[in-house]
Amino acid sequence: MRGLADRETFAAEGEIALPSGTMACSATVNVEGLVASDGDRTLIDWPAHEIASVSREDYDIVVTNLFDGGQVMLRRFARRTDELETALRLARADAFARLMAPPGTSPMDVFEAAGDKPGLLYRYDDGLRWVPHAGDCSARLYSELGQASFDPDAWELVLRGPFGETRLGGLKRVTRELASETALHIDEAHDAFAAALETAGLPWGDEARNGRITAHVPFEVDSEKLSIFSDSGIICDARREYWDVMVQASIVEGLVLSPSDDALRGVAICRVTDGELYETLSEADHASFVFEDADAVVRAWTEAGFRREPIFSPAERDAAAALARVLPSLNAARSGLRDRVIHDEPGLWRERLLK
Of 126, 266, 255, 304, the closest CA to residue 333 belongs to 304
Share of the chain above pLDDT 70, in %: 98
Both 212 and 345 in a single domain? Answer: yes
pLDDT tens digit sequence for 101-133: 999 999 999 999 998 899 999 999 999 999 999
Q: Quick one: 210 and 338 in the same domain? A: yes
What letter represents residue 326's amino acid?
V
Classify residue 89: in a domain, yes or no.
no
Pair (214, 253) in one structural domain = yes
Residue 309 CA to residue 288 CA, distance in Å, equals 15
**Amino acid sitting at position 345:** E
Q: How many CA atoms lie within 13 A of 44 on its CB side?
A: 29
Residues 196 and 217 reside in one and the same domain: no
Same domain for 240 and 290?
yes
Q: What is the DSSP letter of 40?
A: T
Domain for residue 95, yes or no?
Answer: no
Q: Using one digit for the tens of pLDDT, what is the confidence trace for 45-67?
A: 999 999 999 999 999 999 999 99
Distances 303 to 71, 98, 308, 322 between C-alpha atoms, Å = 28, 11, 11, 14
Do 117 and 245 fall into the same domain? no
Give the domain range for residue 50. 1-83
Q: Which residues contact 189 (CB under 8 A, 6 or more apart)?
A: 126, 141, 142, 143, 145, 215
Is 168 part of a structural domain of the chain? yes
What single string gives the DSSP state of each residue in 121-188? Answer: EEE-SSEEEEEESSS--EEEETTT--EEEEETTTTEEEEEETTEEEEEE--TTHHHHHHHHHHHHHHH
Same domain, 146 and 44: no
CA distances to 27, 231, 350, 353 from 251, in Å = 57, 19, 11, 11
Per the domain annotation, does 314 fall within a domain? Answer: yes
**28, pLDDT greater than 70:** yes
- Cα 158 to the chain's mean position, in Å? 18
pLDDT, residue 5, reads 54
Can you tell me whether residue 284 is helix, strand or coil? coil
pLDDT at residue 4 greater than cutoff 70: no
Q: Residue 91 in contact with residue 99, Cβ under 8 Å?
A: no
Q: Which residues contact 20 (CB under 8 A, 6 or more apart)?
A: none
Q: Indicate if 212 and 348 belong to the same structural domain.
A: yes
Q: Which helix (H) or strand (E) holds 256?
A: strand 252-260
Q: What is the mean pLDDT of residues 144-162?
A: 97
Residue 283: inside a domain, yes or no? Answer: yes
288 CB-near residues (< 8 Å, 6+ apart) = 242, 277, 278, 279, 340, 341, 342, 343, 349, 353
Categorize the per-residue pLDDT at 1 as very low, low, confident or very high, splitting at 50, 70 and 90: low
- Which CATH number characterizes residue 160's domain? 2.30.29.30
User: 163 and 217, same structural domain?
Assistant: no
pLDDT tens-place string over residues 311-338: 988 778 899 999 999 999 999 999 999 9
Do 249 and 118 have their domain in common? no
Q: Are 75 and 63 in contact (CB under 8 A)?
A: no
Looking at 30, 53, 83, the residue that finishes a domain is: 83
Q: Is residue 93 situated within a structural domain? A: no
Whether residue 218 is found in the same domain as residue 196: no
Domain boundary (163, 186, 204) is at: 204
Please give the tally of structural domains in the chain.
3
Q: Any residues with CB less than 8 A from the CB of 14 and at least 6 apart, and which?
A: 24, 25, 27, 74, 75, 76, 77, 78, 80, 84
Q: What is the pLDDT of residues 73-85, one digit of tens each?
A: 999 999 999 999 9
Rounded CA separation 201/231 (Å): 8
With respect to residue 254, please indicate whether it lies within any of the assigned structural domains.
yes
Q: What is this structure's pTM?
A: 0.94
Pair (121, 209) in one structural domain: no
Other CB atoms closer than 10 Å to residue 337's CB: what's the count?
18
